[in-house]
Structure 1
């Protein structure tokens, strides 16, 4: 690749730095041209944990600039110092404002570098939403990565944030789902089930997934209510909102179908070695409806992709795992899958 891929370190009290170090140790060819946007001391601690009793060293190299990552030898963790160095390393497994600031600084830096076309893609290690909130302004304005990246991109482009709609897609080898709403209470998420929001989701899904597949994707749309409303017996959202949005999308040439009963549509879309799925992607009405099926199939292979941004962003499908942070037991498989997908999606 002609541009490097930035991996943000995530919350330093969690498993992010640890799985990053494991990724550079175990898959050096996949990680060639990647670097960590983070804190050198934090990554040195992670490398020491990952190395353990092994005789093979895992050096951490501090970069002068992002482009230097393209020349780093394998089995070395290249780090660009973008977080403000702390007086002391944060303890593992504890929510703190210091950890939230460190994680947030890395994401802010990576977003701005990507918007300046200095990066091929961003892969974000997990941050902790409570720590981000504890860090205060500007970090506390955002409930997670997606909203922060959207706000940075909109500001860079000089647009109101509502003119840069983004959506979350969770994907693994068997299933892709895109969400109409992201981090909201269930009550607020139901209020976001509008014809406008669903049609916008279908347009973003059609464009983004189509670009990855190099063809028009076949999209299934999940209903909101049990049995997709059963003809209005269990709610009218399917008849009055979701169905009309699908009809409008189809009139625009989008290959959308539904609404289907939420308890079966994900099984119909699932692809296995024995059977191809009926659909390329499922549009789900709210966060847990879409994420539970993908995560049930295997968190270790899941990848979070933000659709609609002017740059590629992927992330592992798990959180900070405070309960095992620092133990060396964290699995890097989802991070590796996120790096792999970022490379596939990068222009």
Structure 2
């Protein structure tokens, strides 16, 4: 396949997405990939001037490939803004611009111009106020655009690329979610045998296809403190989670749990594990972000294309200041390339 082409959407134009793309383009540190920014060249040029970055923009035709990476140069597939942008000031009038950049990245992956897409953060409120009241985020938009029923949200630290020391263990930390953006009072009712079965099958398939793991070992959190304490602190483990894991082990999945979440994220448990399934958002992501915030990436498993994203938001207060940290974007690009290469070796 050669070096994969990565379609990089710049996200909310008033946020730090444009800054991060420019900062990586100017950085002489190795980045052995071929990212193509998707955004408005005039916006990128103005932001580069604001940041004091000497980055040359190379506008590409719709079907033109970027060629080898050149330090100080940023290849761009242009998408025009609806209205001019001031760093840090969201304007809902640019909602369609943000979605058009996503659509271009999806199309590029589908027709083979790009082997993966990487997304800088967008502003959900701006999209909703800009005429898209049903918008809930990147993940759901990509799910619907690709015509799939369900996807799995997983975050990974840079340990997923090269290992990271936790005590004496080298622990790639990948955390997937059984439920995503739900109020806590709704979580127990959302933990069902059917839902867990779908998520675990998709998680295992994604780890095999996108990370080249022949037999992924997955640790599964309990829902309740102490994983229910034999039913004294809740019965979801006894009635739902344990029977579901036993059934899936019968299909050949390597599943451990349910385990108490307060001790699962320790070197003794994580050593030898390929991923963790948390029952709800903060149960898993608080730990992951503590371990590697700014050095992690968001991954969507279950799409017909490879998609990664940064582990942070638009940081409007940092836009145009030069104080944004491109570390997460660097990890997201590297993981996207790794996943694209694994997928090319192991097509569905």
**One fold, TM greater than 0.5?**
yes
Instruction: State the partner residue of 2:154.
Output: 169
Matching of residue 49 in structure 1 with residue 47 in structure 2: no
Instruction: State the partner residue of 1:158.
Output: none
**RMSD, matched Cα:** 1.9
Whether the 8 Å CA contact 1:168–1:179 is kept in 2: the answer is yes
* 1:214-257 Cα shifts (integer Å, max 9, x gaps): 32111110011111111111111111111111111101000001
Instruction: State the partner residue of 1:86.
Output: 82
Instruction: State the partner residue of 1:244.
Output: 243
Residue among 302, 317, 326 paired with 2:296:
302
* 1:251-274 Cα shifts (integer Å, max 9, x gaps): 100000100111111224776xxx
Whether the 8 Å CA contact 1:115–1:153 is kept in 2: the answer is no
* 1:127-162 Cα shifts (integer Å, max 9, x gaps): 11111211213xx322111000000000xxxxxx53
Equivalent residues in 2 for 1:123-138 (5 A)? Answer: 123-137=118-132
Instruction: State the partner residue of 1:203.
Output: 201
Partners of 2:192 and 2:63 in 1: CA distance: 42
Instruction: Provide the TM-score with structure 1 as the length reference.
Output: 0.88
Matching of residue 95 in structure 1 with residue 99 in structure 2: no
Equivalent residues in 2 for 1:185-200 (5 A)? Answer: 185-200=183-198
Whether the 8 Å CA contact 1:179–1:285 is kept in 2: the answer is yes
Instruction: State the partner residue of 1:180.
Output: 178
Gaps in structure 2 of 5+ consecutive residues: 160-171
Matching of residue 218 in structure 1 with residue 223 in structure 2: no
Residue among 312, 315, 334 paired with 2:309:
315
Alpha-carbon distance change, 96 to 197 in structure 1, aligned in 2, over 3 angstroms: same
Q: Secondary structure at the match of 1:314?
A: strand
Partners of 1:332 and 1:35 in 2: CA distance: 16
Instruction: State the partner residue of 1:144.
Output: 137
Q: Secondary structure at the match of 1:68?
A: coil
Whether the 8 Å CA contact 1:175–1:270 is kept in 2: the answer is no
Q: Secondary structure at the match of 1:79?
A: strand
Q: CA deviation at 1:213?
A: 3.7
Whether the 8 Å CA contact 2:8–2:120 is kept in 1: the answer is yes
Aligned residues: 326
